[in-house]
């Protein structure tokens, strides 16, 4: 087979397995006694080894193998999963990751693994009395691992099948149970199944297969299946013939004895079994040494069954999904955006023509394309876990490096976000987390002095709210020294003393995101070089997000990031200012209201209204956007209430046109920093409407 075809699949699956290994190892460190975790690691490592060997990446396979040996000792409780040992295992996982990344980038996956392999072997030798023996055990286990399956070989047969087996045996045929395990990477499983059956049917008669043939043809099975065959051919011949088919990992053939099969089957068939027992006695002589074998073999496998079920579950679920390349989804999205623009145009035309049939059709089409839009957007959604899953490792190694004790709690990893956003938020989040561990959480000694528990807690939280996703990073560390921020900001000339006096706590903490401001006294490897937080802020803002920070001295800090669910198609409220149309994102709108001019008050030269007990400042968009005046003023104001965090403002417009789905487009790179405009969109009539950045309008 040509490996290159499967390379992508290999890389993707290896990365998934490594992630599982990482996750389970971290869990294991917390609960060293939980051997099911070791099993999980072992399984993933084992699959990885198998795949690597098949693909010809020897270093990868070798290191995984050595690691597996150590894991095996832990699994057999010959070795305790101490932190030191896990460190080495983690290191080897790092090496594995590097190799896979290298392969992904087109490299050969070769790497000097001698040192780490030596370390692993030392663990194996130093702490395990019978190193050589256990290596063999590992190998043996590996064998059964492959061989073991969800179904065991002790198939049950109904009466009819038993009769057929018994009779054919009388006629000189041998009944075999054959367990065939396909290679993990097999692409066309059904084709392999077909080839196997062709050979088997040539050799004899297939009595039964588990899963049934039709399911096999639909690839409704994991990687292995059991066939019961009666044939005159010998076991060895069969083995050899099946082995000629490629992509078969393992073949296990055992001779079965209908007598014992009968005993195994249900009580109902018992009388029948006796008869069978007699009839097969004659031939039993010759077969008995062999036939007792399978029973023995079956036992340990049956014990393992429970473990196996877990592993087999995943792939069968995965069978119902397909992998689609991201580019294709992007193309689909772009095409759909065009469609949304034309949909808007059609809606407008149909409303102008006022033809019943036309408007009905257009309405229907709009509904369908609305559903379509939801599906397409959903397809692009990925759980933030994609980003979060690397943090436990990072936090672990970082806290070790810094001599701190940090416990990371992750909530809401299943929260979904658009792929484009997921792609971008990794680095800034890494930065914030590093920041929290480096500057936020104190050393164990300091924490004890302050009367806190030795171990600091870092909480990473993601959740949905309206059209936004919030990500929060909270620590129970030292908090941010406000005075320090102020001093630094003043000395760097970021703000003036007068400005500081007018600022709220949140605004002062917000200064941290100004460029050139780091409050770390010492520059460490991790952070504190004064670059970064401004980059973090810019990245999030370029994604339409908002970052805020709040902190209390000695209690902790919380960084909160608000992100839009999706970037390209947004729901807006179209408003008119004289003859100009503007779009206000629905996500920032709280409410719209009509306000009588008499209800507008003036406070400190600022027009305000009383909105449900809150004093809300009014922003006259016409003035802000310098709209040429024409026409007479109404005695009512149309007000769009928008919010930014806790703060609100009322945007005064001439009229509200209505709610629309629009495609967000950028103004292009010629125009940078246009005040309070975040982009543009093309309306149904082909005209361009600007999208208002309400955050810039709320002071």
Partner 1 sequence: MAEEEGNNKDLKVIVFQLKDEEYAIEVDHVQSIERMQTVTRIPRVSAHIIGVMNLRGVITPVVDLRRRFGLEEKAYDEATRILVLSKDNIELGLIVDGANDVIDITTGDIEPTPEVVGGVEEEYLRGVVKLEDRLFTLLNLDKVLHDRSTIGV
Minimum distance of partner 1 from residue 581's CB (angstroms): 8
Does the protein bind partner 1 through residue 668 (CB under 8 A)?
Answer: yes
Q: Does 584 bind partner 1 (CB under 8 A)?
A: no
Q: Which residues contact 588 (CB under 8 A, 6 or more apart)?
A: 642, 643, 644, 694, 695
Residue 578 Cβ, how far from partner 1 at the closest point, in Å? Answer: 11
- Catalytic member of 13, 29, 40, 68: 68
Q: Among this protein's residues, is 46 annotated catalytic?
A: yes
Of 116, 151, 226, 235, the residue nearest 181 (C-alpha): 226
**Is position 580 an interface residue for partner 1 (rule: CB under 8 A)?**
yes
For 284-312, b where at least 16 C-beta lie within 10 A, e where not — what string? beebeeebeebeebbeebeebeebbeebb
Q: Is 585 left (phi over 0), alpha (psi -120 to 50) or beta?
A: beta
Interface pick for partner 1 out of 607, 667, 684, 698 (rule CB under 8 A)? 667
In angstroms, rounded to a whole number, what is the distance separating the alpha carbons of residues 93 and 97? Answer: 6
624 near partner 1, rule: CB under 8 A: yes
Query: Is residue 542 within the footprint of partner 1 (CB under 8 A)?
Result: no
Position 286 contacts partner 1 (CB under 8 A): no
Residue 604 C-beta: closest distance to partner 1, Å? 24
- Can residue 688 be called a binding residue for partner 1 (CB under 8 A)? yes
Three-class SS of 268-295 = HHHHHHHHHHHHHHHHHHHHHHHHHHHH
Cβ 188 vs Cβ 156: under 8 Å: no
> Does 662 participate in binding partner 1 (rule CB under 8 A)?
no
Long-range contacts of 80-89 (CB under 8 A, 24+ apart): 80/32, 81/28, 81/29, 81/32, 81/38, 82/32, 83/29, 85/123, 85/127, 86/25, 86/28, 86/29, 88/116, 88/119, 88/120, 88/123, 89/25, 89/120
Give the one residue of 218, 338, 374, 414 binding partner 1; rule: CB under 8 A. 338
| Residue among 390, 675, 698, 699 that touches partner 1 (CB under 8 A) | 675
Local structure of residue 443 (DSSP, 8 states): P
* Phi, psi for 669 (deg, rounded to 5): -85, -10
Q: Say how far apart CA 207 and CA 160 lie, in whole Å.
A: 10
Judge whether 418 and 381 are in contact, CB under 8 Å: yes
Stretch touching partner 1 by CB under 8 A, among 112-120, 367-375, 401-409, 675-683: 675-683
Strand arrangement of the beta sheet that strand 204-210 belongs to: 204-210, 224-231, 174-182, 248-255
Q: Which residue stretches of 354-464 are H helix?
A: 356-379, 385-388, 391-402, 419-435, 444-449
Residue from 140, 379, 555, 671 touching partner 1 (CB under 8 A): that is 671
Distance in Å, CB of 147 to partner 1, minimum: 58
φ, ψ (nearest 5 deg) of residue 129: -60, -40
- Provide the 8-state DSSP code for 520: -
**Residue from 85, 196, 251, 690 that binds partner 1 (CB under 8 A)?**
690
Stated as kind and residue range, the H or E segment containing 352 is helix 326-353
From the CB of 666, what's the least distance to partner 1, in Å? 7
**Binding segment toward partner 1, per CB under 8 A, in 100-108, 404-412, 519-527, 688-696:** 688-696
Give how far Cα 252 sits from Cα of 51, 236, 302, 306, 534, Å: 20, 11, 15, 21, 62
Query: Three-state SS string across 112-167, please?
Result: CCHHHHHHHHHHHHHHCCCHHHHHHHHHHHHHHHHHCCCCCCCCCCCHHHHHHHHH
> Least distance (Å) from partner 1 to the CB of residue 369?
17
Is 12 an annotated catalytic residue?
A: no
Q: Is 673 in the site for partner 1 (CB under 8 A)?
A: yes
Minimum distance from residue 595 beta carbon to partner 1 (Å): 23
* Site membership for partner 1, residue 12 (CB under 8 A): no
Least Å distance, CB 654 to partner 1, is 15
Q: Which is nearer to partner 1, 524 or 538 (CB)?
A: 538
**Please, which residue, 144 or 334, has the CB nearer to partner 1?**
334
Give the Cα separation of 251 and 179 in Å (integer).
Answer: 6
Q: Is 331 in the site for partner 1 (CB under 8 A)?
A: no
Q: Binding residue for partner 1 (CB under 8 A) from 85, 131, 689, 697? A: 689
Q: How far is CA 247 from the centre of its chain?
A: 29
Which CB, 194 or 625, lies closer to partner 1? 625
Stretch that binds partner 1, among 164-172, 384-392, 431-439, 685-693 (CB under 8 A): 685-693
375 contacts partner 1 (rule: CB under 8 A): no
* Identity of the residue, 187 or 335, whose beta carbon is nearer to partner 1 in the bound complex: 335
Determine which residue in the list 394, 534, 665, 698 makes contact with partner 1, applying CB under 8 A. 665
Tell me the C-alpha distance between 291 and 261, whole Å.
11
8 A C-beta contact, residue 575 and residue 690: no
Burial 392-414 (b: 16+ CB within 10 A, else e): bbebbebbeebebbbebebebbe
> Does residue 335 bind partner 1 (CB under 8 A)?
no
Give every CB contact of residue 375 below 8 A, 6+ residues apart in sequence. none
What are the counts of helices (DSSP H) followed by strands (DSSP E) for the chain? Answer: 24, 22
Q: Residue 677 interacts with partner 1 (CB under 8 A)?
A: yes
Name the one range near partner 1 by CB under 8 A: 108-116, 279-287, 518-526, 670-678.
Answer: 670-678
Active-site option among 435, 442, 472, 660: 435
Report the C-alpha gap between 587 and 62 in whole angstroms.
53
Helix (H, G, I), strand (E, B) or coil at 396: helix
The only residue of 91, 600, 625, 647 in contact with partner 1, by rule CB under 8 A:
625
- The residue among 151 and 681 lying less far from partner 1, judged by its C-beta, is 681
Among 593, 627, 648, 656, binds partner 1 (CB under 8 A): 627
What does the chain come to in residues?
A: 699
672 binds partner 1 (CB under 8 A): yes
- Is 68 in the active site? yes
Identified binder of partner 1 from the candidate list 637, 680, 693, 694, rule CB under 8 A: 680
Q: Which of 527, 519, 515, 562 is nearest to 437 (CA)?
A: 527
Q: Closest distance between partner 1 and the C-beta of residue 689, in Å?
A: 7
Identify which of residues 460 and 697 has a Cβ nearer to partner 1 in the complex. 697
Binding partner 1 (rule: CB under 8 A), the pick from 84, 626, 635, 646 is: 626
Q: Of 29, 40, 46, 152, which residue is the catalytic one? A: 46
Q: Is 666 in the site for partner 1 (CB under 8 A)?
A: yes
Name the minimum Å distance from CB 342 to partner 1: 10
Residue from 60, 142, 341, 573 in contact with partner 1 (CB under 8 A): 341
Determine the 3-state secondary structure of 324 from DSSP: coil
Tell me if 346 contacts partner 1 by CB under 8 A.
no
Q: Which stretch binds partner 1 (CB under 8 A): 70-78, 167-175, 624-632, 648-656?
A: 624-632
- Our CB check for partner 1 shows the closer of 327 and 626 to be 626
Q: Which residues bind partner 1 (CB under 8 A)?
A: 338, 341, 580, 624-627, 665-677, 680, 682, 686-690
Positions marked catalytic: 46, 68, 435
């Amino acid at each position: 087979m040509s490996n290159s075809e499967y390379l992508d699949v290999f890389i993707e699956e290896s990365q998934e397995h490594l992630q599982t290994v990482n996750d389970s190892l971290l869990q294991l460190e917390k609960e060293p006694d939980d051997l099911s975790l070791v099993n999980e690691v072992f399984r993933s490592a084992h699959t990885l080894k198998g795949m690597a060997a098949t693909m010809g990446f020897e270093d990868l396979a070798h290191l995984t193998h050595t690691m597996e040996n150590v894991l095996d000792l832990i699994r057999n409780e010959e070795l305790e999963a101490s932190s030191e040992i896990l460190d080495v295992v983690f290191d080897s996982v790092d090496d594995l990751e590097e190799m896979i990344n290298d392969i992904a980038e087109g490299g050969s996956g070769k790497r000097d693994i001698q040192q780490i392999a030596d370390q692993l072997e030392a663990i194996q030798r130093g702490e395990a009395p019978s190193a050589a023996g256990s290596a063999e055990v590992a190998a043996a286990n590996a064998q059964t691992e492959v061989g073991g399956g969800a179904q065991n070989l002790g198939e049950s047969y109904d009466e009819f099948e038993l009769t057929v087996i018994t009779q054919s045996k009388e006629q000189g045929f041998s009944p075999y149970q054959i367990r065939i395990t396909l290679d993990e990477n097999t692409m066309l499983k059904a084709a392999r199944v077909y080839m196997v059956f062709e050979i088997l049917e040539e050799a004899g008669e297939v009595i039964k297969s588990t899963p049934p043939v039709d399911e096999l043809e639909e690839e409704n099975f994991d990687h292995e299946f059991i066939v019961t065959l009666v044939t005159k051919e010998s076991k060895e011949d069969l083995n050899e013939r099946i082995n000629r088919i490629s992509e078969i990992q393992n073949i296990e053939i055992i001779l079965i004895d209908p007598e014992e099969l009968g005993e195994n089957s249900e009580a109902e068939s018992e009388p029948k079994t006796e008869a069978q027992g007699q009839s097969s006695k004659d031939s039993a002589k010759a077969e008995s040494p062999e036939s007792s074998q399978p029973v023995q073999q079956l036992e340990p496998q049956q014990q393992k069954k429970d473990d196996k079920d877990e592993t087999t579950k995943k792939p069968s679920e995965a069978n119902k999904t397909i992998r689609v390349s991201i580019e294709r989804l992007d193309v689909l999205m772009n095409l759909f955006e065009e469609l949304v623009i034309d949909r808007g145009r059609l809606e407008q035309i149909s409303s102008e023509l006022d033809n019943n049939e036309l408007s009905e059709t257009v309405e229907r089409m709009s509904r369908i394309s609305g559903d379509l839009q939801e599906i397409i957007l959903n397809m692009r959604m990925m759980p933030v876990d994609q980003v979060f899953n690397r943090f436990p490792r990072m936090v672990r190694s970082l806290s070790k490096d810094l001599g701190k004790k940090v416990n990371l709690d992750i909530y809401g990893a299943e929260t979904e976000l658009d792929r484009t956003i997921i792609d971008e938020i990794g680095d800034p989040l890494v930065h914030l987390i590093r920041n929290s561990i480096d500057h936020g959480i104190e050393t164990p000694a300091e924490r004890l002095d302050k009367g806190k528990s030795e171990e600091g807690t870092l909480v990473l939280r993601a959740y949905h709210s309206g059209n936004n996703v919030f990500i929060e990073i909270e620590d129970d560390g030292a908090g941010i020294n406000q005075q320090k921020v102020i001093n630094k900001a003043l000395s760097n000339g970021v703000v003036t003393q007068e400005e500081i006096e007018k600022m709220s706590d949140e605004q002062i903490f917000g200064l941290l995101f100004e460029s050139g401001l780091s409050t770390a006294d010492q520059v460490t490897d991790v952070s504190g070089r004064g670059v970064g937080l401004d980059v973090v802020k810019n990245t999030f803002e370029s994604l339409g997000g908002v970052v805020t920070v709040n902190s209390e001295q000695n209690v902790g800090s919380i960084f909160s990031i608000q992100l839009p669910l999706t970037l390209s198609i947004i729901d807006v409220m179209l408003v008119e200012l004289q003859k100009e149309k503007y779009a206000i994102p629905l996500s920032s709108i709280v409410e719209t209201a009509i306000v009588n001019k008499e209800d507008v008050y003036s406070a400190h030269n600022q027009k305000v209204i009383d909105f449900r007990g809150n004093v809300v400042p009014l922003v006259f968009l016409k003035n802000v956007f310098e709209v040429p005046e024409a026409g007479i003023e109404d005695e009512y104001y149309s007000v769009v209430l928008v919010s930014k965090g806790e703060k609100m403002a009322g945007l005064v417009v001439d009229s509200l046109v209505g709610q629309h789905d629009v495609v967000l487009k950028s103004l292009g790179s010629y125009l940078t920093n246009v005040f309070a405009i975040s982009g543009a969109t093309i309306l149904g009539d082909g005209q361009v409407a600007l999208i208002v950045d309400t955050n810039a309008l709320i002071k």
